[in-house]
Structures are given as C-alpha cells and as structure tokens.
Structure 1
Amino acid sequence: MKAESIVIIKKELQHLPKEDLLQLCLRLGRFKKENKELLTYLLFQAHDEDRYIESIKETLDVQFESMNTDSYFYMKKTIRKILRQIKTFSRYSLTKTTEIELLLYFCERLNDLKPNIHRNRTLDNLYQRQIIAIEKKISAFHEDLQYDYRMQLEEL
C-alpha cells in the first residue's frame, strides 16, 4: 500500500465530521507508541513547554542513574538510547529551543558520569558531535538567545 501525501490527507480530513476525526485519532494512538506520545504532548503538555522540558529532564535523570557503568560498552548503548529519545521528544515540540535545552542538559549529564566518558574515543566523539550540533542550531537564533546558550555551552 502506498501512503498518500500530507496535502491529500489534509484535504480528506477537512471533509470528515468531528466524530470520524475523533475515531481516527484514537485509532492512530493505538498503533504506535510514538503516536500516543505525540497525542499526549499535544493534548496535555503543549501549552506549558517549560514543564514539558522539566518532565523530560526528570526522565533522563532516571535513565542516567540506572545506567550500568561497569563497562563502556553498556554505557554506549544506554547513552545512544537516551539520545534517540531526546531527538524524538524534541520533534514533538514546535519550539526550537526545546532541543537545545535538552541537548545541553544531556551533555552536562555526560560530563558528570563516572567513569569519565572522555577516556573512551567513541563516547567522546559522540559528545563532540552533540556540541557541534548545538552550535549549529544556536547560530539560527536571535542574538540574545545565542548569547545565553553560548554561555551555557562554554560552561560545558
């Protein structure tokens, strides 16, 4: 089955009654965890972006605390998983600063890990790539925001 374009889907949705739209949304939420997470964000958390960021940070804290630090191999797997989640959660938000704040927090937590991630080339490279990505994203913001985020970045 070939998926239709967003334009065609939008036109079709405009012709549906409210009841059918509700049923489609509920059915969409049943099939994939990401769909359910996006619906949850849009319905309950989109109005308070700061609280959304704080809840994600709390989730990240739990994952960092439960990380197996006996081996760099286990650390790498967990860190990559956390990074994937950050990317997913930041895609839900239309606010561009959300991803920057989450990535800055991620890098801050990486620096605090024991054993030190900078002793492992793979983890250090992952960290450096995130710093470069943050710098690129910051350059698209207004000068005041750029200054604030660059100060946070320098602290890392």
Structure 2
Amino acid sequence: MKAVPLKELKQELGAISNQELQELCLKLSRFKKENKELLTYLLFKSSDEDAYIQSIKNYMDEQFKIINTKSYFYIRKSIRKILTNTKKYIRYSQKKETEVELLLYFCEKLKNFSPSIKNSQQLINVYNRQLILAKKIVDTLHEDLQYDYKLIMSELQDNYY
C-alpha cells in the first residue's frame, strides 16, 4: 500500500470527529512502540521539557552503569544503543535546546567513562561526531544560550583527543 501525502492526511483528519480521531490515535499506538512513546511524550511530557530532559539523563546514567566492560566490542555496542535511543527521544521533542543538552550530556558521560575510550578509535569517533553535531546546533541558538553551551563544549574538548 502506498502512503498518502501529508496534505491529504491533514484534510482527512480535519473532516473526522474527535471520537474517531481518538480511536485512530489509539490504533496507531498499538502498532509500534515508537508511536506509543511519541504519544506519551506529546500527552504527558511535552509540557515540562526540563523533567523530560532529566528523565532521559537518568536513563543514560542507568544504561552507562550496566555496560559490559569486558571488551571494547561490548562497550561500543552498548554505547551505540544508548546513542540511538537518545536520538530517538530527541526526535520526539524536536527542540534544539533539548538536543544540545542531551548530546553534551552523552559526551560528558562518554568522556568520563571507565575504561577510557582513548583505547578505541571508534569510540573516539563517536564522541567527536556528537560534539561536532552539538556545535552545529549551538550555532543556530540564541547568543546567550550559545555562550553557555560553548563553555560546556570547551570543557569537553580541552586536552582531550
């Protein structure tokens, strides 16, 4: 089945009743976990962005604690999973400040991770790519926020790699 363009979907959604719209949303949430997570964010978390950011930071803290450190293979695999999930949560918010905050927190956790990521070029590359991405986003923000985030970024870059 071919998907209909967004414009047609919008027109059709405007023509249906609130009850039908509610039923459609519930059906969507049953099919994919991501749809349910997005609906949860939109209904419950979007009003308090700071609490949402903190919950994702707590998630990252927990995930970094349970990483299998027996080999760099497992470390890389776990860190890629954490980053993938973090980016998924960033997509739900679609706010640049949230994205920068979470990317910088991820980099901070990665920099302070033990055993050091200096022994794995792949992990160093992941770290550097996220810092570069955060820098690009920071450059689009308001000047006051840029200053604050650039201070954090300079700490993450100084004397490291």
**In structure 2, how many angstroms separate the alpha carbons of the residues matched to 1:94 and 1:102?**
12
- Find the counterpart in structure 2 of residue 108 from structure 1: 108
Paired residues in the alignment total 156
**TM-score, scaled to structure 1:** 0.98
- Find the counterpart in structure 2 of residue 56 from structure 1: 56
Q: Could you list the runs of 5+ residues in structure 2 that have no partner in the other structure?
A: 157-161
**In structure 1, how many angstroms separate the alpha carbons of the residues matched to 2:98 and 2:23?**
31
**TM-score, scaled to structure 2:** 0.95
Alignment partner of 1:145 is 2:151: no
**In structure 2, how many angstroms separate the alpha carbons of the residues matched to 1:9 and 1:97?**
30
- Find the counterpart in structure 2 of residue 70 from structure 1: 70
- Find the counterpart in structure 1 of residue 136 from structure 2: 136
**In structure 1, how many angstroms separate the alpha carbons of the residues matched to 2:95 and 2:125?**
27
Residue 138 (structure 1) shift: 0.7
Give the letter for the 2:96 counterpart: K
Aligned positions of 1:1-156 closer than 5 A: 1-156=1-156
**In structure 2, how many angstroms separate the alpha carbons of the residues matched to 1:44 and 1:84?**
22
**In structure 1, how many angstroms separate the alpha carbons of the residues matched to 2:151 and 2:145?**
10
CA offset digits 1:17-52 (Å, max 9, x no partner): 111000000000000010000000011100000000
**In structure 1, how many angstroms separate the alpha carbons of the residues matched to 2:103 and 2:47?**
21
Percent identity over paired residues: 54
- The alignment yields a C-alpha RMSD, in angstroms, of 0.7
- Find the counterpart in structure 1 of residue 159 from structure 2: none
Large movers: runs of 4+ above 4 Å: none
**In structure 2, how many angstroms separate the alpha carbons of the residues matched to 1:28 and 1:136?**
34
**In structure 1, how many angstroms separate the alpha carbons of the residues matched to 2:49 and 2:142?**
19
Residue 16 (structure 1) shift: 0.3
Residue 119 (structure 1) shift: 1.5
> Is this contact kept in 2: 1:86–1:99, CA < 8 A?
no
**In structure 2, how many angstroms separate the alpha carbons of the residues matched to 1:132 and 1:94?**
18
Q: Could you list the runs of 5+ residues in structure 1 that have no partner in the other structure?
A: none
CA offset digits 1:91-129 (Å, max 9, x no partner): 111321101000000000001111100221111011111
Give the letter for the 1:152 counterpart: I
CA offset digits 1:123-145 (Å, max 9, x no partner): 10111111111111111111111
